[in-house]
Amino acid sequence: MKPFLKWAGGKYRLVDKIKALLPEGKRLIEPFMGSGSVFLNVDYPEYFLSDSNPDLINVFQQVQHGGVIFIDEVKEIFELKNNQAAVFYELRNEFNETTDLKRKAILFIYLNRHGFNGLCRYNSKGGFNVPFGRYTKPYFPEQELHFFLKKSQMATFEIADFSTTMNNAKLGDVIYCDPPYVPLTTTANFTNYTGDGFDLKKQEQLAELAIKLMNKGIPVIISNHDTDFTRNIYHSAKISAFDVQRFISSDGANRNKSPELLAIFQQK
């Protein structure tokens, strides 16, 4: 099942590759949940899902606890009259100003489906600033929301950084990490959807944590670009490498394939 949110770097098209490498366990932990592609398409008894983006986690919690009534309220905002630039920017302003978490979640889903390329981006003051997407008829992900609602009953969602989440792992857990990717070039630096960036030092910290947990018997799998840097910091892992078609790009004619890898940190 696809996620109900569009998401840069979403893993829906790679789920089969990831599933084939994930070992069995009592609980799946995802410290970089994103849109939840992996969570939605694997089968574990429990899930602990976190992200440092509070708006994202709020949406998941509102779906989980608000249920069908919440989904019906989201559907109302997808009326055709709301698919115009003036309304989009009015609702975007409301999203940035409101403190009502339920309303904020409804608006987040609206902005995700009506904004340009499904991006999630914030300015230096923390305001959501993705422009209007100009789609003829934005898709309302009703089936996807209902599927998420059902599966979310086995999950815990928390706002947390990756180190806090991973340091709370225990034997029986399996961890899948989908961090913001290492740039392929010095100019390709889309790594800050939460606004605070994810630099190379954090990439190294993540790899060190994966080694630490592997040595405790807790398997960790990390997705990233396949570069000299990632090969170096993942030297303790088994590497599965492949090319992936890019689907989120400001230039539709320049969505080329990029080299990616899955680093498997697991005791033999």
Decide if pLDDT at 189 tops 70: no
Q: Do 4 and 141 meet the contact criterion of CB atoms below 8 Å apart?
A: yes
In the chain, domain spans: 12-52+160-265, 63-144
Decide if pLDDT at 24 tops 60: yes
User: What is the average pLDDT value for the chain, to the nearest integer?
Assistant: 93
Q: Which residue has the higher pLDDT, 191 or 84?
A: 84
Q: How confident is the model at residue 184 (pLDDT cuts 50, 70, 90)?
A: confident
pLDDT tens digits for range 71-100: 999 999 999 999 999 999 999 999 999 999
For the chain, how big is the Rg over CA atoms in Å? 18
DSSP 3-state of 224 = strand
Decide if pLDDT at 226 tops 60: yes
pLDDT-above-90 percentage for the chain: 87
pTM of the model: 0.91
Decide if pLDDT at 214 tops 90: yes
Specify the pLDDT at position 126: 94
Which phi and psi angles does 128 have, rounded to 5°? -65, 125
DSSP 3-state of 261 = strand
CA 21/CA 175 separation, integer angstroms:
11
Q: Do 265 and 237 meet the contact criterion of CB atoms below 8 Å apart?
A: yes
Give the torsion sign (CA, 94, 62, 41, 142): negative
Domain spanning 63-144: CATH 1.10.1020.10: yes
Specify the pLDDT at position 26: 98
Specify the pLDDT at position 188: 52
CA 52/CA 100 separation, integer angstroms:
19
Specify the pLDDT at position 246: 67
CA 268/CA 265 separation, integer angstroms:
9
pLDDT tens digits for range 141-150: 999 999 999 9
Q: Do 243 and 260 meet the contact criterion of CB atoms below 8 Å apart?
A: yes
CATH code assigned to 12-52+160-265: 3.40.50.150
Residue (of 221, 226, 216) closest to 206 by Cα position: 221
